[in-house]
């Protein structure tokens, strides 16, 4: 039971830092979107989607996943396995964002 509490603590810390990141950059995205004449809602949503892509390759998430399945020191293998899907995800989101911005 104690290990389960540690895993929830790790996920809570991750959520906290992701929230802080969105708070810090949210105003920046808002200001830049207004200055460039973009749809601010779309720009903010793309920022949140990008933050979720960052969670795919975040070390804290890899360590939490290792703790859940009970393996150690596999960060390199996990990153190699997640890198290509994350890159494809970011390319598709980027293309979608560009299409939405100019259509």
> Going by C-beta distance under 8 Å and a sequence separation of 6 or more, which residues neighbour residue 54?
none
pLDDT of residue 89: 92
**pLDDT tens string for the chain (103 positions)?**
455 555 455 455 555 556 677 778 888 888 888 998 888 888 888 888 888 888 888 888 888 888 888 888 888 898 899 999 999 999 999 899 888 877 7
Q: How far apart are CA 99 and CA 28, in angstroms?
A: 22
In this structure, are residues 64 and 10 in contact, taking their beta carbons and an 8 Å threshold? yes
pLDDT of residue 19: 65
Q: How far apart are CA 11 and CA 61, in angstroms?
A: 8
pLDDT of residue 16: 56
Q: Is the pTM of this model over 0.75?
A: no
Question: Is the Cα torsion angle 29, 32, 34, 40 positive or negative in sign?
Answer: negative
């Amino acid at each position: 039971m104690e290990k389960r509490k540690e895993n929830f603590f790790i996920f809570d810390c991750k959520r906290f830092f992701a929230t802080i990141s969105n708070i810090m950059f949210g105003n920046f995205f808002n200001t830049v979107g207004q200055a460039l004449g973009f749809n601010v809602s779309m720009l903010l949503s793309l920022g949140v989607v990008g933050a979720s892509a960052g969670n795919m390759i975040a070390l804290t998430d890899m360590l939490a996943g290792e703790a859940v399945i009970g393996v150690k020191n596999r960060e390199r293998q996990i990153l190699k396995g997640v890198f290509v899907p994350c890159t494809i995800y970011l390319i598709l989101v980027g293309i979608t964002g560009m299409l939405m911005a100019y259509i």
